[in-house]
Amino acid sequence: MKKITVLTFLLCFLSTSAWSASLQLAGKTVGIGQPSWVRVCLDRKVSKLTVRLCQREFDLEKVKKNCYAGPIAVDVRQKLGYYLVTALADGRQVASAKIKVVSKDYGVRRITVNKKYSKLTAEQLARYRREIASIKAAIKNSSAGRLWKGSFIKPVATKVVSRFGKRSIVNGIEKSPHGGVDLRGKVGDPVKAPANGRVNLVLDTYFGGLMVMIDHGRGLVSCYLHLSAALVEPGQVVEKGEVIGEVGSSGRVTGPHLHWGIYLAGAKLSPLDWIDTSKTLSRFYGETNAKN
């Protein structure tokens, strides 16, 4: 893993009692669909520390006296340009830094699927809308506390067959960028939880087939699509490495595989890049050698 150069930005805001705060970012730029991290240190105690980026709010966790750290991310569909990362201590702005959102070439994929997935009937469209509402609710209703420890692992230890973020041409029509990473697998291969969490959705969907979603806390949610079997239930607590389902070919697919996705505060981000970021964060949290 490349060594990250920490860039420190300092901005003080004066009031009846002056605040002093430093905000550290992993770099001056972040690519679309990429996770990163931020660390904020203050001169006093606060109850809650969050940061805002691209109209999303990310919770930070205390790592030492008056210092907080946590992940941030930019959605794969975010417009390019300069944005502010703003630190809020108990809702009050205490520091900010400018970051540039840059493009990232993830490539293009062209796939051909059953025509029933190209033009939906009124009934199928209504079903799809209900499913999207359930998925959005699962992403939004993340636990306040962090449930995962240590770094994430791949849910299936196989090769990547389709990368995250690829422009998707389906039956000749361009769709949304690929929102996850596809991992090779045979029907029935075990799918493991990449980190501790709590199952917050099990649903048979039109496009994604049988899917499981896991809440890892603090806005971090993972999803697993096209399963042949789900071996967990909503509300069930799972540990890293625990089998949660089996690889399948349900939904809109060209063959059996696992689609693995990660959301942070609703932003779709690269699962494989998240693994690297989780390693950095585990060091901040003092969990480098955590087994769970």
Tens digit of each residue's pLDDT (9 = 90 or more) over 50-89: 999 999 999 999 998 899 999 999 999 999 999 999 999 9
Mean pLDDT to the nearest integer, 272-279? 95
Whole-number pLDDT of residue 178: 72
Q: What is the mean pLDDT of the chain?
A: 87
Query: How does pLDDT run across 151-166, given as a tens digit for each residue?
Result: 999 999 999 988 887 7
Instruction: Kindly provide the residue ranges of all beta strands, DSSP E only, lying in 6-157, ordered along the sequence.
Output: 7-10, 21-25, 29-31, 35-42, 49-53, 56-59, 61-64, 67-73, 81-89, 92-102, 108-111
> Does one domain contain both 42 and 122?
no
> Does one domain contain both 158 and 196?
yes
Domain presence at residue 276: no
Q: Count of domains in the chain?
A: 2
Whole-number pLDDT of residue 14: 33
Q: How far apart are CA 275 and CA 271, in angstroms?
A: 7
CATH code, domain carrying 78: 2.60.40.1930
Domain presence at residue 274: no
The answer to whether 85 touches 53, Cβ cutoff 8 Å, is yes
CATH code, domain carrying 145: 2.70.70.10
Q: Residue 157 belongs to what domain range?
A: 108-269
Q: How far apart are CA 285 and CA 67, in angstroms?
A: 11
Whole-number pLDDT of residue 95: 94
pTM of the model: 0.87
pLDDT at 3 exceeding the cut of 50: no
Domain presence at residue 278: no
DSSP one-letter code for 254: S
Q: What is the residue type of 33? A: G
Share of the chain above pLDDT 70, in %: 85
| Neighbour count for residue 108 (Cβ, 10 Å) | 12
Whole-number pLDDT of residue 174: 58
**Which residue has better confidence, 206 or 15?**
206
The domain boundary residue, chosen from 102, 123, 151: 102
Handedness of CA 139, 214, 83, 94 (dihedral sign): positive
Helix ranges, 52-205 (H): 122-140
Whole-number pLDDT of residue 134: 96
Confidence of residue 12 (pLDDT cuts 50, 70, 90): very low
Whole-number pLDDT of residue 168: 58
pLDDT at 5 exceeding the cut of 70: no
> Does one domain contain both 52 and 173?
no
pLDDT at 234 exceeding the cut of 90: yes
Confidence of residue 176 (pLDDT cuts 50, 70, 90): low
Domain presence at residue 46: yes
> Does one domain contain both 62 and 80?
yes
Query: How does pLDDT run across 87-141, given as a tens digit for each residue?
Result: 999 999 999 999 999 998 776 666 666 666 667 789 989 999 999 999 999 999 9
Q: How far apart are CA 216 and CA 165, in angstroms?
A: 22
> Does one domain contain both 97 and 113?
no
Give the C-alpha distances (Å, rounded to integers) separating 260 from 107, 125, 178, 237, 248: 18, 24, 11, 19, 13
Domain presence at residue 160: yes
The domain boundary residue, chosen from 102, 137, 162: 102
Whole-number pLDDT of residue 114: 63
- Of 84, 88, 110, the closest CA to residue 97 belongs to 84
The answer to whether 215 touches 146, Cβ cutoff 8 Å, is no
Domain presence at residue 51: yes
